[in-house]
Structure 1
């Protein structure tokens, strides 16, 4: 690829104007960009390499990030998460991020793109930890992308959202799994949740999922994109059905998480 060649990148819900230039990605900036760059810089400074590195702003006013090679898991490679060792790898990767961000002090003028009310402000959470934001390279290197929605939150909030996508905890045909409880336990063990955190997590699983449905509904009522389009495409119904599926099985999740280890 020539240095000055721009290749549009697609696949995310908010990918308009995102291009690859050589070994970099150029994206539109927002009020949150300086804070996100400070976060990503901190992660690299403390040794967390599974995230893009910010390289500043280009001559067109776009943010510049290192390009993360590989394929998004959600698009054709969900089977990568099938072996339990790989599911455990995701859990450990998320734990490494949460440990790395623990000592991050945001800039005093930090602005974040807060899409939904947080359940606390323990850390700056990713807020969208899911297969569609996990890239795996041919060399089996794993990285988390799309940090624009990072904002104050909690570790358990991040974990609850991640579990919805990575187990997955879904009512959708083709995604619903008979071994969801076992996979939930494997993830929790690999992340290192203690008993108290597991008890707190159970009701949070459905609340975090239903919050996505409510967010899409509210944004659609305001006419905000791309959320209104996602609602029209049926994503709101998917999140609602998944929330009900999770709620109806809370005893199953509690049993799987709290069984004697």
Structure 2
């Protein structure tokens, strides 16, 4: 077996076209989501194969993968457009599932947030997608999926794809260039005027929720999150919150242009 890098829990392995991952308390919920998406014609996701002992088996998502710093195909216009369209496709396909399940009777890694418009991916980022040439053709790692408003997922995705980041390894381009990339993502998703107007504020709220989650997990003995905090990841999010707050007025140009 080949051990794959990344992931929140270690011990993720690939054998041929199958990926084996440790089971989590929320795994049955994620399996239900993946099966629903597959049945809805969303083919750009891992297919749930089954469970063996303490591991889940998922199909391997083919394609080129990337991480920060963002260079190459992942920063192309085509990648932004295809990413925005795929996030919209996933969101739209989960609406019917929300009508079938009781959110409060399901286990989630991240806390559901009302109003429940869609099931968010929760971490739709450049490091969780696969590309063919310059086009995003797949997305994986659905562990963070949870019900929430569309803009909750859209805001975090735009934050990561623009990216509105301050860390020397993660940031890319000027503020103007970041806003331009964010606009492409929003246009491709089909973001409404209302969603665009909320974007900066929701980014701050979403990052604040992430910071709280990391602190809580570390306090409860989660070694991975404790190490992440020690390595400065939490502080980086706090810095990004300040960066977005300081530039929120400039980000208002993400709004739809009014027709004359």
Q: What TM-score do you get using the length of structure 1 for normalisation?
A: 0.88
Structure 1 runs of 4+ aligned residues shifted over 3 Å read: 75-78, 105-110, 137-141, 258-261
For 2:216, which of 209, 215, 218 is the aligned residue? 218
> Equivalent residue for 1:41?
35
Q: Please show how residues 71-110 of structure 1 align to structure 2 within 5 Å.
A: 71-74=64-67, 78-105=71-98, 107=101
Alignment gaps of 5+ in structure 2: none
Q: Which residue pairs with 1:57 in the alignment?
A: 51
Q: Which residue of 1 aligns with 2:61?
A: 68
**Structure 1 residues 119 and 238: alpha-carbon distance in aligned structure 2, compared to 1, 3 A threshold:** farther
TM-score, length of structure 2 as denominator length? 0.88
1:182 to 172, 180, 183: 180
Q: 1:142 to 1:169 in 2, by over 3 A?
A: same
Render the CA deviation track for 1:134-158: whole Å, top value 9, x for unaligned. 1224695621111112122221101
Say how many residue pairs are matched.
254
Label 1:66 to 1:110 Cα distance change in 2 as closer, same or farther (>3 A): farther
Coordinate RMSD, CA, aligned: 2.2
CA contact (8 A) 2:129 2:136 kept: no
- Local SS of the residue matching 2:168: coil
Counterparts in 2 of 1:70 and 1:77: CA distance versus 1, 3 Å:
farther
Contact 2:200/2:244 (8 A) holds in 1:
no
Aligned counterpart for 1:228 among listed residues 217, 222, 226: 226
- CA gap 1:220/1:32 in 2 versus in 1, 3 angstroms: closer
Counterpart of 1:102 in 2: which secondary structure? helix
Aligned to 2:207: 209
| Residue aligning to 1:172 | 167
Q: 1:80 to 1:15 in 2, by over 3 A?
A: farther
2:153 — aligned with what? 158
